[in-house]
Amino acid sequence: IDYGTPRSKSEKMIELTIDGQTIAVPEGTSIMRAAMEMGTQIPKLCATDMLDAYGSCRLCLVEIEGRPGTPASCTTPVMPGMVVKTQTQRLQQLRKGVMELYISDHPLDCLTCSANGDCELQDMAGAVGLRDVRYGYDGENHVFPKQDGVANENWLAKDESNPYFTYDPSKCIVCMRCVRACEDVQGTFALTISGRGFESRVSAGMNESFLGSECVSCGACVQACPTATLNEKKVIEVGAPEHSVVTTCAYCGVGCAFKAE
Ligand code: FES
């Protein structure tokens, strides 16, 4: 199970009610994690227990008695006596609306996509009960952002320069999980988000390919990606490596030869 946010180390326990059930969790725990620990799955895309909560996808909305609005459960910590609802009709409608918007900017090629059956976007569309999308994907007629006054038709081009993984910007939902994994897990700061609104995409440096960037091919971003945007290349596709390196880290191609004591 991915509990959505990291475990709190506090020894102080907080009691609250979620969907009519009382639970006690360590202070600093997010509502999402508290709900997950009692077996209630809250839909999520940008949250993962590998990384600190970020609150960008707005899928994990909940209602809290006495509070206006619908805060994100991944970024809202539990408070004593809190009464939370995670499954009201209003929340279901809101989540469905959010998912519709994601799908409207995503290629509908699930059947031939390499992540079919292992894609969190696909899972969440099912979890919120999305069956129809009112705003169809219009990938072929994308308005390409301009670069030096000229439409950049390579904007959604796949980057296959890295020997270990591919990057397909057309499948990016801008959840920032890869950028955060690069910073928090690897400490490399190779990735960022470029552009705004519909033009926002993950970028490895300024107009650079992944291979030409600061990326060290550690694979933390590939592991964190919830869709097929960052996808591991299979040995069957690229052939066996010409040389190998000694490393204790899964994925890593850096070969720092770190030895555990
Ligand atoms: Fe909470 Fe994305 S999972 S905002």
Measured CA to CA in angstroms, residue 226 lies from 8, 47, 122, 156, 240 at distances of 24, 10, 9, 18, 27
Percent of the chain at pLDDT > 70 equals 82
CA-nearest residue for atom 3, ligand 1, is: 44
Specify the pTM. 0.84
- The answer as to whether 147 is a domain residue is no
Q: Is ligand 1 within 6 A of the CB of residue 55?
A: yes
The complex scores an ipTM of: 0.99
C-alpha 106/C-alpha 122 separation (Å) is 11
**94 C-alpha vs ligand 1 centroid, how far in Å?**
13
Q: In sequence order, what DSSP letters do the residues of 97-122 get, joined into one string?
A: HHHHHHHHTS---GGG-TTTTS-HHH
The helix-helix angle for 120-127 and 89-104 (nearest 10°) equals 140
Q: Looking at the structure, tell me whether residues 90 and 197 fall in a common domain.
A: no
The closest alpha carbon to 223, from 190, 161, 180, belongs to 180
Q: Within 13 Å and on the Cβ side, how many CA atoms surround 261? A: 0
- Show the tokens assigned to 66: 């006495």
Give the position of tokens 């955060």. 180
- pLDDT at residue 133, rounded to an integer: 82
CA-nearest residue for atom 4, ligand 1, is: 55
- pLDDT at residue 258, rounded to an integer: 46
- The answer as to whether 134 is a domain residue is no
Q: Is ligand 1 within 6 A of the CB of residue 57?
A: yes
- The answer as to whether 187 is a domain residue is yes
Neighbours of 122 (CB within 10 A): 19
Q: Looking at the structure, tell me whether residues 6 and 120 fall in a common domain.
A: yes
- pLDDT at residue 206, rounded to an integer: 73
- Show the tokens assigned to 40: 């209630």
**Mutate-to-test residue for ligand 1 from 30, 54, 101, 120, highest number of ligand atoms within 8 A of CB:** 54
Amino acid at 109: D
- The answer as to whether 146 is a domain residue is no
Q: Is ligand 1 within 6 A of the CB of residue 74?
A: yes
**4 C-alpha vs ligand 1 centroid, how far in Å?**
8
Percent of the chain at pLDDT > 90 equals 59
3-state secondary structure of 150: strand
Q: Looking at the 3D structure of the chain, how many domains does it have? A: 2
What is the number of residues in the chain? Answer: 261
- Show the tokens assigned to 168: 């397909």
Torsion of CA 114, 136, 155, 216, to 10 degrees: -40
* Segment 51-81, tens digit of pLDDT: 999 999 999 999 999 999 999 999 999 999 9
Q: Looking at the structure, tell me whether residues 8 and 105 fall in a common domain.
A: yes
Contact 185, 214 (CB under 8 A): no
* Segment 240-255, tens digit of pLDDT: 556 555 555 655 555 5
The enclosing domain of 65 has a CATH number of 3.10.20.740
The closest alpha carbon to 61, from 51, 46, 50, 49, belongs to 46
**160 C-alpha vs ligand 1 centroid, how far in Å?**
29
- Show the tokens assigned to 251: 């994925």
Q: Looking at the structure, tell me whether residues 21 and 113 fall in a common domain.
A: yes
Q: Looking at the structure, tell me whether residues 117 and 166 fall in a common domain.
A: no
| Domain region containing 100 | 1-128
Neighbours of 236 (CB within 10 A): 7
Q: Looking at the structure, tell me whether residues 237 and 199 fall in a common domain.
A: yes
